[in-house]
A and B are shown apart, each in its own frame.
Chain A
Amino acid sequence: MSSTLSLKTEFIKGIWKENPVMASLLGLCPTLAVTNAANNGLAMGLATTFVLLSSSLMISALRNFIPHQVRIAGYIVIIATFVTVADRFLAAYFPVISASLGPYIPLIVVNCLILGRQEAFSSRNGIGRSLLDSLGMGIGFIIVLVVLGIIREILGSGSIFGIAILGDWFTPWMVMILPPGAFLTLGILIALANWYNDPSRSKERGTVS
């Protein structure tokens, strides 16, 4: 059970083994929608991690106080509060990013990654463990979004983080910054991860992962 896991494992699991996108396929809506550029993926990942950490803190602190019957309503109000804080923060201090992410920041409220972690973890564990879990999950989410964003931005616009790296000879693959590009890239990444994690392959290598 989770209580027997060491703190380090609690943190590491979100990055690879239980990565919210690659292993659990959670939070796919923002993953597919905003990763047409690395910047957008990073901003979405950071905003989601902020919401994940703050709501985990609140919910694990209040876990014995919120009656079971109204927990979902309570969680959603807490999550929505922090999402609004993040949305207003971006609008006030990073207006360009806020404009390019558009409605996807407010939509973090319904990101099942966040409610899922609160329900499955923060509501049953102490503050320290919950924060570690959220931090791991958040970092795992950021990594996937940034990797997807980098791949799609290079192929779709010939740049990384808005800096052009491919010369004039390169014709951008328009499909990569359109929705199909998101599905293609994510599908290939998940296939690679599954191939890497395949237990029969581990045996051939003589290791047990």
Chain B
Amino acid sequence: MSKMSLSTRMILVLTLITVLSGGILAGWDTITKPKIAFHRQEALKAAIGDVLPAHDTYTREETEFGTIYIAIATRDSSEHLVGIAFMAVGSGFQGELRIMVGLSPDMTQLTGIKVLEQIETPGLGTKIVVDPSNKQDPYWFPAQFRGVHLSPEIVVIKNAKPTRNNEVQGITGATISSKAVTNILNDQIAHIKTVWPSKGGPES
């Protein structure tokens, strides 16, 4: 060791450490990768199940606006389309929101939404996921989107009950978070409509 020049030794030691590190990580990756992929898949399945409860199975289709999940019901003898789901991503109050969105086959109504990732203000903006202060109905905000109509677009109403079928009630103290959700939905559904033709009846 002492015969080696210092710079050779530095290069040798750092190379050895990094090669060793690479080896450990490569080995660990092969062990954990299938498990991590499995959890992602399960989370995706659960989210699609939440927004399109009527479906039994789904297929995926890649489009220029991301993946669309085509949900099919097989429980009756006739296999039919129950809707499509896709991941809508956009800006919330403080950071990115990722929302799983379920659409009816004719693209006129939502079948449900589920906010999967958010960093909104705890206690205010986080009510877009769950509202622990409302003991009877903690999921009142996301639940409003089930069956909401899309024409002309989803509108947030402040401090009042919705009267029209395209309206949802905003969260008091978190107007920006409430509007962020509807803006992302309106914006991305418009994109999806351009790549996925609406299918009226169960026959198609």
Contact = CB atoms under 8 A, between A and B. Distances in A.
Interface of A: 36, 62, 65-67, 69-70, 73-74, 77-78, 80-81, 84-85, 88-89, 91-93, 95, 157, 168, 172, 174, 177-178
Interface residues of B, number: 23
Tell me the dominant secondary structure on chain A's binding face.
helix
Contacts, number: 62
B190 interface: no
Contacts of B10: 67, 69-70
18 contacts: A62-B17, A65-B13, A67-B6, A70-B10, A70-B13, A74-B13, A77-B14, A77-B17, A77-B18, A77-B21, A84-B25, A84-B28, A88-B29, A92-B35, A92-B39, A95-B39, A178-B121, A178-B123
Interface of B: 6, 9-10, 13-14, 17-18, 21, 24-25, 28-29, 31-32, 35-36, 39, 43, 121-123, 132, 135
Contact of A91 (B9, B18, B36): B36
Nearest to A75: B17
A89 B32 contact: yes
A99 B10 CA distance: 39
A81 B35 contact: no
Contact of B135 (A36, A91, A168, A172): A168
A81 B25 contact: yes
Given A66-B17, A73-B14, 13 more contacts: A77-B18, A80-B21, A81-B24, A81-B25, A84-B25, A85-B24, A85-B25, A91-B32, A92-B31, A95-B36, A174-B123, A178-B122, A178-B123
B85 to A, nearest CB: 20
Contact of A174 (B9, B32, B122, B135): B122
Contact of B28 (A36, A66, A74, A88): A88
